[in-house]
Structure 1
Amino acid sequence: MDGRKTPVKSSHKLSLLSSPVRAVIRLRRTAHILKKGLLPGDPQAKLLQRQISLGRAKVGAASTSLLGQASFESSKYFTFDTSAQPTPQRGSKRKKRCKNPRVLYPDSSRKYLPVEHKSKAKRCLLLLVGIVCFQILNAIENLDDNLLKYDLDGLEKTMRREVFGQALAVENIIGLLKDYLATHIHNKPLVMSFNGPSGVGKSHVGWLLAKHFRSVMDHHSVLHYFTMHRCPDPASVYDCQSELSKTISDMVTQAEIEEKIPVFILDEVESMSPALLETLGGFFQKNQTNEFLNAVYILISNLGGDEIMDVVLQNLLQPQGKMEELRTALRPVLGHLHPLWTTVEIVPFTLLEKNHVQSCFYEEMMSEGIYPDPSHIERLAGQLNYYTQGGQEFAISGCKQVVSKVNLL
C-alpha cells in the first residue's frame, strides 16, 4: 500500500507545478512574437511558436528532472528569476515611424508667421545717420548765412554790369571771395593781386569792392589805401610803415570783436617801397594770431602789364587757356620783385577790345546825362589807339581816356 501511494503524490505535485510553468512559457512566447512584430495568426508566427514550443519542451523535461530531485514541499509560492533573462541591447534597431514633414493646415484656420523682433541697433544707426545729416544741413545753412551777410550775389551782378571785357577776372574774384567768406575760421588771410596794363578796369573793380563792402558792413571794416596819396614822400617810409601797421592792427582787432572779416584794398602797389612791401608782407603769413588770419587783402598794380600784353597779342588763346597762360607768365616776374607775390592769388586783367571801349563811352555818357548817340560813340572810340592782331583791335590805353573825352563834349 505504501509503495502504490508514492507515485500518485509525485505525479500530482508535477501536474501542479507544470501548469504555472506552461502559462509562463505561453506568455513569454506571445511576448516574443509581438516583439518580432508578427501577429499570432500569421504562418510565420505559428512556425516560430512551434520552434519555441519544441525548445521549451526540452527545457521543461530538463526542469522536470531537476524538480523531481528537489523538494517542492517547502515552497509555498511559485517565483521565477528574471536575472537569467537576456537584457535587450540598447543598440537594437527599432522600426522608425514614417513622419510626414508637411504640415497641413485646415482651410478654416489662420496662419500666423513668426514674429520678427526688430533690433535696437538699427534704431541707433538710423538716429546716428539723422544726426549727421542734420549737422551737415546746419553747416550748409551757416555757410549760406555767412554769404548772405556779405551779399556776394549782389556784388557779382554789379561787377558784371559795370566791368567790361573782364568776365573771367570777375568770375575768379567772386569765386575766391565766396570760398573764403563762407566761414570765419581760416589758416591764412586771402590775398588777391590784380595785375594788368593801365586802363583795363583794375582800379574800377577795387572801387566797386570798397563801395559794396562799406554798404554791407561799415566804414571801419574797409580800407581803401592809395599809395601815392598816403605815402607820397619816399623819405617818410618809416612813418608810412607805422601808420599802415597800426591801421591794419586796429581794424583787424575791431572786426574780430564784431565777428566780421575786414577788407583791405591797396591801390598803386607798384609805387610802394621795398620796406613798405616788407611790412605788408608780414601780415600775409600763416603763423599769426587768429584775428590776423581772418582778413582779405587786394593788391592793385600795373606790374606784369607788358607780359600780359605780349601773351594776348602773340597767342590769342581761348579764354580759359588765356588765364592759365597769363598766370604762368606773371608769377616768376612778380616773385622776382618781392617774395610776397609767391603766395598770393593772381588775377590777370587782359586787354580790352574796341567794343569794350565803346561800352565804356556809353556808360560814362549815361552817367553824365549825355545822350549816347551810337554814331557819336563810334567816332569817339575811333580817336583812340589800338593794337591790331588777327583781325581784332585791342585798346592800348583801355578805357583810361574815356572820362577825359566825355568831359570835352
Structure 2
Amino acid sequence: MELGKWALGLWGFCFPFVPGFLCWEITFPFRSMYCQLSDSCACAFQAQLDNLELDLYRHVYGQHLAREVIVSAIRQFTENHAPVKPLVLSFHGWSGTGKSYVTSLLMRNLYREGMKSSYVHQFVPTLHFPHASQVHTYKERLKTWISGNLSDCSRSVFIFDEMDKMHPGLIDAIKPFLGHSHVLYGTNYRKAIFIFISNAGGEQINQVALEFWKNRKDREEIQLEDLESNISRAVFNNKNSGFWNSDIINEELVDYFVPFLPLKQKHVKECVRSEMSSRGIELRNEIIAEVVNSMNFIPEDERLFSKTGCKTVSAKLDFSL
C-alpha cells in the first residue's frame, strides 16, 4: 500500500497516520446516517450514570470537584437528545492525581468495552504527532480522521492525552468540530465528547489548595469558580502547553476546565490500601505508613501534598514488601 494514499477495501477504508494506519469500518450503507439521527445508534453506547458516580466515589480520592463536575456534565449532555454542541472537557492537575484513571472509569460507564471500544479514540502527542516539522500534515489527517469516525458513530469520544506535550497550534485543527455548527463536512458531530488531559495548570490548582489550607479552610470548600479562570489563563499563556494561544481557549469552546487537586497524605494512604486490596495483600498499618513516608511531599516542612500523587504507590509498595 503506497504511503499517503487512501486504501479502499470491501469492509472499510483507512489512511496512513503516525504510526501505521488508522481505519474505520463501513458495515452497512445507512449505518452512519442512522447513528447520527437515532438515540439507539449501534455504537455500544451505554450511559450508566449512577454506576459512574459510584465508581468515582469509591475509587477516586480527594477529588470532590472533579467528581461533581464530571457527573453533572455527562448527565446533562447524555440526557439532552439534541445537544447544540459536543461536550468538551479539559482535565488539569499534577501527575498522579487521577486524570487518566477517571477517564478510564468514565469510558467504562459509557461503553461496554470501555477504553477498548472502537468508538473511543485516544491520541498521545509523542506517539501520534512526534515531529514539529509535520504539524500541517498532522492537522489535515486529524480533521479527516475525526470526520470519518464521527460518520461511523456520532457518539464517539476523542481523548487527547498529555496536552502539555502537544505542538502549539496543532489542536486548533479540530476547532470546527467543537462549536455550535449543525453539520460539518457532512457529519452531525454534536453528540461527540472531547476530553483533553494535561498537567498544565497544576501549579495554579496547587496554589489555591495551599491558600485554602493556610486560611484553615476545608479543601471541600474549593469551588469550580475558584479555579477555572486561573486554569484557562495558565494553559493559554504557557508556551509548553498545547493550548498556547489556542483559538479553542480564546473562543471559549471548552465547556469545563476540570481541576484535579493535589493529594494529601490521607488520600495517598487510601491509594495504598486500594493497591494492597487489589493484590489480595493483608492491610497492615505499618506497611501503609512505610509506603507513604517514603514518598515526597511539599512543602517539605509540612509534607502537605504528594509530588507524584498516587502514581508511584505501586512501585513503593513493591519495595516495602
TM class by shorter chain equals 0.7 to 0.9
Secondary structure of 2:311 counterpart: coil
Secondary structure of 1:215 counterpart: coil
Letter in 2 for 1:396: K
Which one has the bigger strand percentage?
Answer: 2
Letter in 2 for 1:326: L
Q: Paired residue for 1:199?
A: 96
Letter in 2 for 1:386: F
Secondary structure of 2:257 counterpart: strand
Moved more, 338-347 or 314-323: 314-323
Q: Paired residue for 1:226?
A: 124
Residue 326, structure 1, aligned to residue 227, structure 2: yes
Structure 2, unaligned runs of 5 or more? 1-38, 40-44, 238-243
Q: Paired residue for 2:248?
A: 340
d(CA) in 2 for partners of 1:160 and 1:251?
32
Written as runs of structure 1 = structure 2, the 5 A alignment for 1:258-273 is 261-273=155-167
Moved more, 242-251 or 348-357: 242-251
d(CA) in 2 for partners of 1:178 and 1:390?
42
Secondary structure of 2:196 counterpart: strand
Q: Does the 8 Å CA contact 1:210/1:224 hold for their aligned counterparts?
A: no
1:284 positional shift: 1.1
Secondary structure of 1:347 counterpart: strand
Q: Paired residue for 1:73?
A: none
Residue 396, structure 1, aligned to residue 293, structure 2: no
d(CA) in 2 for partners of 1:230 and 1:389?
38
- Residues 371 and 321 of structure 1: CA distance in aligned 2, closer, same or farther (over 3 Å): closer
1:322 positional shift: 4.2
Larger Rg computed on CA atoms: 1
Written as runs of structure 1 = structure 2, the 5 A alignment for 1:142-181 is 149-181=46-78
Residue 254, structure 1, aligned to residue 152, structure 2: yes
1:180 positional shift: 0.5
Residue 358, structure 1, aligned to residue 252, structure 2: no
Letter in 2 for 1:331: S
Q: Paired residue for 1:243?
A: 141
Letter in 2 for 1:262: S
- Residues 384 and 391 of structure 1: CA distance in aligned 2, closer, same or farther (over 3 Å): closer
- Residues 322 and 390 of structure 1: CA distance in aligned 2, closer, same or farther (over 3 Å): farther
Letter in 1 for 2:194: Y
Q: Does the 8 Å CA contact 2:65/2:259 hold for their aligned counterparts?
A: no
Q: Does the 8 Å CA contact 1:180/1:190 hold for their aligned counterparts?
A: yes
Residue 377, structure 1, aligned to residue 278, structure 2: no
Moved more, 381-390 or 345-354: 381-390
d(CA) in 2 for partners of 1:282 and 1:273?
18
Letter in 1 for 2:181: N
1:212 to 109, 112, 136: 109
Q: Does the 8 Å CA contact 2:161/2:196 hold for their aligned counterparts?
A: yes
1:190 positional shift: 0.9
> Superposition RMSD on alpha carbons, in Å?
2.5
Secondary structure of 2:118 counterpart: helix
d(CA) in 2 for partners of 1:283 and 1:326?
26
1:284 to 178, 194, 198: 178
Q: Does the 8 Å CA contact 1:213/1:222 hold for their aligned counterparts?
A: no
Taking structure 2 as the reference length, the TM-score comes to: 0.73
CA distances 1:238-283 after superposition (whole Å, capped 9, x unpaired): 4433332233112211114xxxx22222211111112321112232
Letter in 2 for 1:340: I
Secondary structure of 1:165 counterpart: coil
Secondary structure of 2:317 counterpart: helix
Which one has the bigger helix percentage?
Answer: 1
1:392 positional shift: 7.5
1:312 to 183, 206, 209: 209
d(CA) in 1 for partners of 2:279 and 2:131?
35
d(CA) in 1 for partners of 2:113 and 2:95?
29
- Residues 238 and 165 of structure 1: CA distance in aligned 2, closer, same or farther (over 3 Å): same
d(CA) in 2 for partners of 1:349 and 1:390?
23
Written as runs of structure 1 = structure 2, the 5 A alignment for 1:107-118 is none
1:388 positional shift: 4.8
Q: Paired residue for 2:27?
A: none
Structure 1, unaligned runs of 5 or more? 1-141, 143-147
